Amino acid sequence: MNSFLDYVLKLNDIDQTRSVLDGHPIPIEYDKLTKAYKLRNDIAHEIKPVKISKIMVIALWDNFMNILDISQTVLLSASDRELRCSLNSDYLKSKDRARRIAAYKFYSDIIMSKLMENDGMTRNTSKYQQQIKAVKCLVIKI
């Protein structure tokens, strides 16, 4: 296990709407959690005047409930081999999906810039063919 939180996060990404009846998906956002932790320290230890929005508190609670639910399953899997296998396979699936999404994001800009270069070029020129080849290579890489 690389990082417990990463494991929980990836398992949550498999189905972000599992606890939602009629609403948007709930991702676990690490940044929001760390920000909220700092806020909690400012309130509890420093008595600093802090700005907290209603949305922020609700997001924190959603994050917490997700972490709680998944962590409970992960901790139960310590003594249940079948559950552990199923969680590991879900984790790998989610990890692969995250990798693919990142690759699409990374290559989409390059592909767009290549396509923009074609602007005003006729399809028969060799330069155009070369650029189309380069774009195809990028797509295959993804």
Partner 1 sequence: MRDRYFYWIYSLKLVNIIKLYIKVLKNNKGVKTNNKLMADLPREPRIDIKKNQSSLEPFKQVRGFYDCEIDPLFRLLLEDPLSNSLMHSLRKYLVIIIFAALDYFFRNAVRKLIDDNDLNVVPLFPPNSQKKLDRLVRECATTKGNIVASTYRFVDIHELTLYFQTSYK
Of 81, 120, 92, 114, whose CA–CA distance to 13 is shortest? 92
According to the binding rule CB under 8 A, does residue 65 interact with partner 1? yes
Long-range contacts of 51-59 (CB under 8 A, 24+ apart): 56/32, 59/29, 59/32
Using the minimum distance from each CB to partner 1, give the nearer residue, 47 or 140: 47
Q: Which is nearer to partner 1, 33 or 83 (CB)?
A: 33
Give the residue from 99, 95, 135 showing the smallest Cα distance to 115.
Answer: 135
One residue of 11, 12, 13, 36 binding partner 1 per CB under 8 A: 36
Q: Does 60 bind partner 1 (CB under 8 A)?
A: yes
Number of shown-chain residues binding partner 1 (CB under 8 A): 32
Nearer to partner 1, 26 or 33 (CB): 33
Instruction: Report the chain's terminal Cα–Cα distance, integer Å.
Output: 26
Q: To the nearest whole angstrom, how small is the minimum distance from the Cβ of residue 69 to partner 1?
A: 9
